[in-house]
Amino acid sequence: MSDAKNPPTTTTNGGIPATSDDNSLTVGPNGPTLLQDTYVVQKMQHFNRERVPERVVHAKGTGAHGFFEVTEDVTQWTSASFLSEVGKKTPMFARFSTVAGELGSADTVRDPRGFALKFYTEEGNYDLVGNNTPVFFIRDASKFLDFIHSQKRMPDTGIRSNDMQWDFWTLKPESAHQVTTLFSDRGTPRTLRNMNGYSSHTYSWMNAKGERFWVKYHFKTVQGVENFTDAEAAAMVVADPDFHRRDLWDAIARGDAAEWRLEMQIMPFEEAADYRFNPFDLTKVWPHADYPPITIGRMVLNANPENHFAEVEQAAFSPGNLVPGIGLSPDKMLMGRVFSYHDTHLHRIGANYEQLPINSAKSPVHTYTKDGPMAFRHAGATPVYAPNSYGGPQADASKEIPMWWVEAAEIGRYAYELHAEDDDFGQAGALVRNVMTPTDREHLASNIVAHASAGVSPEIQARVITYWTNVDAELGSRVASGLGYGNPASKAA
């Protein structure tokens, strides 16, 4: 921290004392500015390079440091060392974000929220890149580009389009469950502290005996779920576009740490085959009654970043960062993300992004990758190839992440295998009918109507009505009358 009464001397980035903070070198008071003023030239050159490419999705984020603490013995399910004993604490960094908006966009718009977590464990960094919703819009990574394009901007006008969004959603009815959540008041959380986080994906855990389980993570806000109504969220866009960022920062700065309880749903490995829903389909939840959530720990965020760019903008998460005892599942979205996140950071930040302090493991790193732009971590004179005869690091076969088997099959473009109760609308309907209050349902209908009224063609509005009628007949007729059509059946026909 600088001392205002006794500030340090300004320097170049090379540490050389600067002569002036104000005046460029010129030939006399009215003469040309000189290129030999390397200090000023370098200031301008660096300014031109201040940005790294913003993320294509989840561009606007907010982060905080904290820790995870184990509160229940989970060794019967996983050998992950950071979960190995009750009371064990692991330092963490969390980044929350909106999805569709750009870097400077408003915080309170209707959107899912990213819920990205980095656990700095003693066996490397474990990243869990979730959302504040337990499901997602699509179930195969090959559709991700199409989905995101439909939520972003039109190619000609550069403007977002509700017509494009409803066109995509109604043509991909697997989106219905997530769109139901998005248009409920959970699509406009009051603060980042007042929302839950979900792995959404199914992952696998393996214990020391090699027994495997399928798991889902639920981070439940201890502050309680609180949402804005559509009108409150819209008003806050105008009043304070950085409201969520400010709220989290201010809370932590005043010593009001934010906390989430980690609850796990755990499915014995063999039960996946006959479960009533395909347990790897990201558009479905596992109903709590089938796999009751078990509380195993808590996440506490209690320290603000010192520098937003260094710690939040350059924070890089990848669901491929798994630690021994934790693995993937046959979720086709997850398998796509395992490739895509690391690839994004290589492009966005650079080949050595994992050397930056925010991304760097706090455990030893012994790797045969080397060099590249901005490399500064190295292992001195140790071997750069394996195998070698000179004491280079050696892999440890016991540190396997859990895997699953597949029967020999023909390579092909397969859809998910449908289990007994799989369809696109059933769980969305259950949410509307069995979970939502009458007020929730009212808000859901009016939120949909407001959005589908603005710039959506009559043809697509007809599909919107059919879509919601398939979720729930009563909701469908509310949407129909809100959009100005009395009878959904006549409009949808």
Catalytic residues, by residue number, are 58, 131
**Closest separation between CB of residue 434 and ligand NDP, Å?**
6
Q: How many CB atoms lie within 10 A of CB 124?
A: 19
Question: Among residues 237, 430, 450, 489, which is the contact residue for ligand NDP, using CB under 6 A?
Answer: 430
Q: Which stretch binds ligand NDP (CB under 6 A): 8-16, 153-161, 283-291, 313-321?
A: 283-291
Question: Among residues 90, 427, 466, 470, which is the contact residue for ligand NDP, using CB under 6 A?
Answer: 427
Using CB under 6 A as the binding rule, the residues of this chain from 133 to 152 that contact ligand NDP are 134
**Closest separation between CB of residue 479 and ligand NDP, Å?**
17
Asked whether position 108 contacts ligand NDP by CB under 6 A, the answer is: no
Q: Which stretch binds ligand NDP (CB under 6 A): 19-27, 202-210, 340-348, 430-438?
A: 430-438
54 secondary structure, DSSP code: P
Nearer to ligand NDP, 128 or 164 (CB): 128
Question: Among residues 436, 445, 464, 480, which is the contact residue for ligand NDP, using CB under 6 A?
Answer: 436
| Triad 363, 256, 304: Cα angle to 5° | 45
Asked whether position 46 contacts ligand NDP by CB under 6 A, the answer is: no
Asked whether position 422 contacts ligand NDP by CB under 6 A, the answer is: no
**Closest separation between CB of residue 260 and ligand NDP, Å?**
11
Three-state SS for 93-131 is EEEEEECCCCCCCCCCCCCCEEEEEEEEEECEEEEEEEE
In contact, 100 and 57? CB cutoff 8 Å? yes
**Closest separation between CB of residue 289 and ligand NDP, Å?**
6
In contact, 465 and 483? CB cutoff 8 Å? yes
CA 110 to chain CA centroid, nearest Å: 16
Tell me the sheet residues that pair with 294. 264
Asked whether position 276 contacts ligand NDP by CB under 6 A, the answer is: no
**Closest separation between CB of residue 181 and ligand NDP, Å?**
5
In contact, 65 and 301? CB cutoff 8 Å? yes
In contact, 244 and 191? CB cutoff 8 Å? yes
Question: Among residues 218, 298, 332, 451, which is the contact residue for ligand NDP, using CB under 6 A?
Answer: 218
Q: Which stretch binds ligand NDP (CB under 6 A): 335-343, 348-356, 429-437, 471-479?
A: 429-437
CA 333 to chain CA centroid, nearest Å: 13
Question: Among residues 181, 202, 278, 344, which is the contact residue for ligand NDP, using CB under 6 A?
Answer: 181
# residues near ligand NDP by CB under 6 A: 21
CA distance 98 to 111: 6
Question: Among residues 17, 72, 276, 288, which is the contact residue for ligand NDP, using CB under 6 A?
Answer: 288
Locate 393 and state its tokens. 């690091």
Q: How many CB atoms lie within 10 A of CB 202?
A: 24
Pick from 180, 136, 218, 199: nearest CA to 426: 180
Q: How many CB atoms lie within 10 A of CB 308?
A: 15
Kindly list the residues in this chain that would bind ligand NDP in the complex (CB under 6 A): 134, 177, 181, 184, 186, 196, 218, 220, 225, 285-289, 427, 430-431, 434-436, 440
